[in-house]
Structure 1
Amino acid sequence: MASTVTTSKDAATSRPGYGRLLRTRGAWTFLLPGFAARQPFAMLTLSIVLLVQHTTGSYGAAGAVAAVTGVAMALFAPYSGRLADRHGQRAVLVPGVLVHTLSGLALTTLALTDAPLWALFAAAVPTGASVPQVGPMVRARWGVKLKGSPLMATATAFESVTDEFTFVIGPLLATALCTAVDPAAGLVTEAGLTLVGGLLFAAQKGTQPTVAARAGRARVQHASALRAPGVRVLIVTFLGIGSVFGGMQVSLAAFSESIGNPGMNGVLYGVFAAGNMLAGIACGAIAWKTGPQRRMVLAYAGLALTASVLWTAHSALLLAGLGLLVGMCIAPALITGYTLVEDLVPAGARTEAFTWLTGAVALGQAAAVTAAGQLEDNLWDGAGFLVPMAGTVLALATLLALRSRLVTHPHGRTVARGVGHREPVAVD
């Protein structure tokens, strides 16, 4: 009994921190190149919107091209994740990075030469379909490094913080390059970062999950992640999150244009993403006592509420404040969603599950940029902000109706303070 009490006390008081996580041996070999290779998700849509709007003069056309890219990514991302689970990350990454770089440069060239819209759509398909799914791959590598360790909960939070940090850096970088250097500079830089970061990440063979180790369990482990009802619910909620990203990208750009200060777009989006990142850091440092299902509902309710008032803002200062609040509500929902995946699907299907969620964000973002672009073109300035409101409210209704499907069955795991998961240990 004494040893049991001691173990529980240790689990409860030794909440692993970010410093301990980052001292994990070999972690930086995939974290640094992985950060560079993640930039496409943060830069691609906005770079396309700014370039195509510059060459066509229409936010509707720009949003449509960006939407095609997002839909292609959403459709192909889960397939990419499944291939990575079956054949290894390197086998998927190398050809994907090369295709993405070439197709991104082709899209840039076509836009600059005033090619017809159908040609831009044609180039947008491979550009989106080949976006490297580095975030899910990094999460899978943490799973290998930290198997059975209480650090895994910290790693989940850290990865969400990293995602949010890319959404601080990416839009700022894309806006600065497109407005201060050249309208095409954002896409060109995005392609370069993808090529260099993706190839360096793929070269780190020692940290990628091994396929051979799972060969004996392939039939079970390679079942589609979609077979878990909870994953399907999470996909809907992540679609709503994507609607926030997409709707705000277009609407903030249109707002900045309407006040005669295009460079303000990067600042406003950066404030939104900074709120996301700061909330993510806090989430990783808190030892939660409430269950992840309840946290998901509360975080999403806050997101729907704050996103529903964006359209009322008529000044940059007020819009920045509301954007900060929206961002602070997104991070807890994202982190909790990824945390739930750890228990909803088996280890061999997690890369696919993560890419379904990433793809859902991309698909929601694609639909949002299209809708927001049309609203900005045809209605009043700021009408595009109605898209995040609609997307989050509909997703919240789905989440409330189907939240019971998010109940996980840990199968022998015990929970310490609601966050860390401990594998059963046999004591001789």
Structure 2
Amino acid sequence: MSYRALLRAVSPAFFPLGLLARLPYAMAPLATLILLESATGSFTFAGIAGAAQCVAIAAGGPVVGALADRYGHRVVGVTAAVSNVIATLALLPASQMDRPAMFLTATLTGLTQPQVGPLVRVYWSHTAEIRLLPTALSYEAAVDETTFVLGPALVGLLTPISPVAPVVATAVLLTLATFPFALLHARPHVASAERTAQKLPRWSMTAMFLAMAAIGAVFGAVQTGVTAYADSIGQPAAAGLIYAEFGIGSALAGAACAWLPRKFKQHQRYVTFSVTLFLGTLSLLVFPVPVAIAVASITVAPYMVSLYALTERLAPPQKAAIAVTILCAGGPLGTAIGRAIAGNLADERGAEGAFLVVPITSAAALILAVAAFRHVGRRSVRGPQGLPGCAVPPSRPVSGVDRKGCGRGA
């Protein structure tokens, strides 16, 4: 499916504003780390506060999703953006106070984090035609990876000016991009009498959450391994460039997912891309680091696109936002765990030790994928309450597709 059709589906401002609206999410952890380390002189405290912020993002995400499902994405998105601006700016005076105040404020910035990426995916699932949805999800994966390259890079450019500058820039972007994006493009509240009767499938959501945690651990271990490698060659500044290579490769692979054939069903993609993720991450143990990062990077986004697509399909229509935000909560938790384990191994064995974590966690993702595939096989036609066997979930508008086609796959 051509991206031209996607450009015609929404207003032209949707795409640049949506990209900028996501940058604060990518900037906030590093900006907070730099500010608190500068204020206290302690990487240990800054790291602990940063970890608390990541846990708060994971805990607050499903709450934002549940509120969005109940009260509408627009009002919740706008409220979260305003709250996050206040919490982010509060970091500035807090950095001049005692450590408990810094820790509390860093946690609040995580709890109020606007869930732009997850809610935009739900927006597409409710508004895009069936034929456009794979293209939309591929685009979203590419944008996510792009922001995680641009966000830290912007923080790096601003830090020499002042440790305060990245935090101020984050607040400015929240005000000028995240807030108007939620106001203009988020879905308004749509009442539903079925809301209270609908439940999320627990087994499937648990599997998806753990699968996202696994890819989060891959990110955390790769970041740690790349940093250790750059230090070992005496060029610590190279870490950012090498990790940017990882993000760029993943973004390109995510964009390419739009051209996958529709006969390649979603649960088949999930297993296939779990296999390629495992094989790609094995390259970190075989090839030189710059080459291995390039190889591994192209296996990440396709795996994540399949996770988002499956989660969107297994959720009841009026629980889509909380389902996707629960999925996304696994990312920062996995990243924190991956960093912690890889950091210990890096201290003992250098970059090779840190990179050892990556294929192990991707193997765990593969095991989950196989288990999920068997689950789909036992329940091949369950509609929106289970892993997908349904070509047209009720949450989507129909365009030339018969709803009775449920069970043919997608």
Same fold (TM over 0.5): yes
Alignment partner, residue 63 of structure 2:
79
Contact persistence 1:244–1:391 (CA under 8 A): yes
Task: Show the counterpart of 2:112.
Answer: 130
Cross-structure match for 1:343 = 313
SS in structure 2 at match of 1:186: helix
Alpha-carbon distance between aligned partners in 2 of 1:127 and 1:64, rounded to the nearest angstrom: 14
State the percentage of identical aligned residues: 30
Partner of 1:409, secondary structure, is coil
Give CA-to-partner distance per residue, 1:100-129, whole Å, 9 cap, x none: 223233335555x5853x444322211111
2:194 counterpart letter in structure 1:
R
1:59/1:374 contact within 8 Å kept: no
Q: CA offset at residue 162 of structure 1?
A: 1.5
Q: Which residue among 367, 372, 385 is the counterpart of 1:397?
A: 367
CA offset at residue 287 of structure 1? 1.5
Looking at structure 1, the residues matched to 286 and 41 of structure 2 have their Cα atoms a distance apart, in angstroms, of 26
User: 2:138 is matched with which residue: 157, 173, 178?
Assistant: 157
Mark the CA change 1:384 to 1:60 in structure 2 (over 3 Å): closer, same or farther.
farther
SS, match of residue 235 in structure 2: coil
Alignment of 1:320 onto 2:290: yes
Corresponding residue to 1:424 among 398, 402, 406: 402
- The one of 371, 375, 381 aligned to 1:409: 381
Taking the aligned partners of 2:333 and 2:400, their CA distance within structure 1 comes to 35
Q: How does 1:46-195 map to 2 (within 5 A)?
A: 46-52=30-36, 60-107=44-91, 110-111=94-95, 113=96, 115-116=98-99, 118-146=100-128, 148-178=129-159, 180-195=160-175
CA shift for structure 1 position 328: 0.9
Q: Secondary structure of the residue that 1:132 maps to in structure 2?
A: coil
Partners of 2:73 and 2:188 within 8 A in 1: no
Give TM-score scaled by structure 2 length: 0.84
**1 CA distance for matches of 2:80 and 2:23?**
15
Matches within 5 A, 1:243-262: 243-262=217-236
Aligned positions of 1:215-254 closer than 5 A: 215-220=192-197, 223-225=198-200, 227-254=201-228
Please give the root-mean-square deviation of Cα atoms over the aligned residues, in Å: 3.0
Query: Does 1:203 pair with 2:183?
Result: yes
| Per-residue Cα deviation, 1:195-248 (whole angstroms, up to 9, x for no partner) | 3212111221xx433433x4233234xx343x2532221111110111122233
Structure with bigger RCO (C-alpha 8 Å, 6+ apart): 1
Provide the C-alpha distance between the structure 2 equivalents of 1:253 and 1:191, rounded to a whole number of angstroms: 28
Instruction: State the alpha-carbon separation in 1 of the partners of residues 44 and 278 from structure 2.
Output: 25
The answer (yes or no) to whether the contact 2:145–2:247 under 8 Å persists in 1 is yes
Partner of residue 302 from structure 1, selected from 276, 281, 289? 276
1:386 to 1:63, Cα distance in 2 relative to 1, 3 A: farther
| Unaligned runs of at least 5 residues, structure 2 | 384-388, 393-397, 405-410
Classify 1:261/1:182 alpha carbon distance in 2 versus 1 (closer, same or farther; 3 Å): farther
Report if aligned partners of 1:167, 1:273 keep a CA contact under 8 Å in 2. yes
* TM, length-normalised to structure 1: 0.81
